[in-house]
Amino acid sequence: MKKTKIFRGKKLIFLLILCIIVPSLNVRAQERVFPKDNDLVIVIDPGHGGTDTGTQGGRIQERFMNLITAQALVNRLNQYEGVTVYMTRFDNDTTLSLTERAVYAKSVDADFVFSIHYNACVLHDRFGIETYTSRISPYNAYGYQFGDLLMKKYESQYGIFPRGVKTRKGLRTEGDYYTIISANIYRDIPAVIIEHCFADGVVDAQHTMSDDQFRSYGETDADAIAEFFGLKSTVLGIDYSGYSDNLCYADPASFNDQTYEDRTNPENVSVSLVSIDPVSCSVTIHVEGSDSDGMMLYYALSTDGGWTWEPPEVWPSANALTGTYDSSFDLTIPFESGDRPSIVIKGYNRYDGYLKSNQITFVDRFNGQDMPLYRV
């Protein structure tokens, strides 16, 4: 089974060659790209608030989730040394524009802004954590290195699927789409958006069941921020001031290809028949998919020709942090006697663009004995 990796630049090749030439080089321990000084100022922005409730799909409104997480983040980050922490809002009733939040960050001479959010989608079927960073250098590299670090922690600690570090282009400019990022960049302040998981989704519902979970995410955010900046805490007994094996390579001088925004759909999603078991009423199909501008991230199955769909699953071996995925895989689908399936697959890329496959349609129903006829 072929594993596909999409990489649009030459930096990884350079690192691999350098590692061969200099065997003693520890390529895992990357340099921190953010130029930290001794008086670090961080602004934590609980997204939404007041009349802006955020997503309604979860157990509670997003404005409450964001604030609970942000408060826990600030409480823990304040236990690290060499950092001053501020919040853009302190209660549930404060309504702030995105520009007002950036103006506040500038007023306290912020070095970095972290905007706290929970995600949602129209079909309520997505899952995973993602971060958004600026498209502009060097801010792009700062957000990319932090987001990669953060998602590694969420995957290992909570089993939350990493959807990647992303960018989004403005509608009429080459700048950033999200105002909380662009308004801060305009003021020379790096900013990232943390979308912790999908509050409205079935898969991530287990991660949004209690306030304690929201607080736990805030503490994890704080530790990720501390590791990103190389902070230490005597109180917590944590010291990130040395090298970190969790930091990925990021180039502050140019756009980091791993954050490339893929606005196209996958080029290919196709299915073919591998085998039919008439006794167990099961079908094995071979699925192929490719996306040259990005990667395959999810797939969804329909057995009624696309009228209804099973919840999306992770595309086998999909890793949004490395850009790798399996180019093909086999899938065995159980049926019941009397079923007459029409099988189709929908493949999604990292930015939720999708493509439907061809169909495998059965002319006969399964009866638990004879091989049913089918057409592709």
Please say whether the beta carbons of 195 and 146 come within 8 A: no
pLDDT tens digits along 297-320:
999 999 999 999 999 999 999 999
% of the chain surpassing 90 pLDDT? 83
Please say whether the beta carbons of 119 and 205 come within 8 A: no
Please say whether the beta carbons of 375 and 367 come within 8 A: no
Q: Residues 133, 164: one domain? A: yes
Number of Cβ within 10 Å of residue 345's Cβ equals: 24
Residue 102 has pLDDT above 90, yes or no: yes
Residue 116 has pLDDT above 60, yes or no: yes
**9 lies in some domain:** no
| Domain tally, the chain | 2
Please say whether the beta carbons of 265 and 320 come within 8 A: no
Looking at residue 320, which CATH number applies to its domain? 2.60.40.10
Q: Residues 201, 91: one domain? A: yes
Please say whether the beta carbons of 162 and 154 come within 8 A: yes
**8 lies in some domain:** no
pLDDT tens digits along 170-200:
987 789 999 999 999 999 999 999 999 999 9
Residue 17 has pLDDT above 50, yes or no: no
Residue 269 has pLDDT above 90, yes or no: yes
Residue 108 vs residue 17, higher pLDDT: 108
Q: Residues 42, 104: one domain? A: yes
**2 lies in some domain:** no
Task: Using the Cα atoms of residue 197, residue 198, residue 199 and residue 203 in order, give the sign of their dihedral.
Answer: negative
pLDDT tens digits along 314-354:
999 999 999 999 999 999 999 999 999 999 999 999 999 99
Domain that holds residue 255: 29-259
Question: What's the Cα-to-Cα distance from 156 to each of 14, 152, 189, 191, 347, rounded to whole Å?
Answer: 29, 6, 30, 24, 26
How far is C-alpha 304 from the chain's CA centre?
A: 30
Looking at residue 194, which CATH number applies to its domain? 3.40.630.40
Quote the pTM value. 0.90
Residue 12 has pLDDT above 60, yes or no: no
pLDDT, position 23 = 36
pLDDT, position 29 = 59
Number of Cβ within 10 Å of residue 86's Cβ equals: 18
Q: Residues 285, 243: one domain? A: no
